[in-house]
Amino acid sequence: MNSSSAKIIFQSVIFFLLQVVIFRNVALFDVGFCFIYIAIILLLPIELDRIIVLLIAFVLGLMVDVFYNSFGIHASTAVIFAFIRYYWANTMTPQGGYDSNSSPNISTMGIQWFSTFAIPLLFIHHFALFFIEAGGFSFFWFTLFKVIISTFFTFLVILLFQLLFLTKKRRV
């Protein structure tokens, strides 16, 4: 195990604990919810094997489901997130390609690239999560409002954690 693997494991444990201990009870006006655990999948190295990312997403989602008592909703949406993440990362490949073992974060890719990468993925995750939770499209506008607010709330928290705890400078 190298230092980057240990860093990813430590960061994943921190994000998971923050999700089940703190952010489980945090809501903005009962509309905006923060699902920081999804940052574990979001920040995995881009060149990591697709099957491994899908397995990590499934296990992570199941662990969150245990604490939320949500019967597989988080597992399914985390797998959807991981599946789409692979194709979205390929769509957003820079001209020179990605560095081997590079993680999509603001210190290595820049805030503009990271925002373009993360926000659509977070929106898809939250869209699937809230509409599965709602059981359909009967409360479409209210659920869509929850999706939008929660997407930006989650993105801002992920961004804040990166700005506070990532020290590696971006290469120009």
| pLDDT values of the chain reduced to their tens digit, one per residue, 172 residues | 666 777 778 888 888 888 888 888 888 888 899 999 999 999 898 888 899 999 999 999 999 999 999 889 999 999 999 999 999 988 887 666 666 667 788 888 888 988 999 999 999 999 999 999 988 888 899 999 999 999 999 999 999 988 887 655 544 4
Domain residue ranges in the chain: 3-165
Distance CA 121, CA 127 (A): 10
Distance CA 53, CA 42 (A): 10
pTM for this model (two decimals): 0.87
Residue type, 30: D
Q: Enter the DSSP assignment of 23.
A: G
Phi-psi region for residue 138, left (φ > 0), alpha (ψ -120 to 50) or beta? alpha
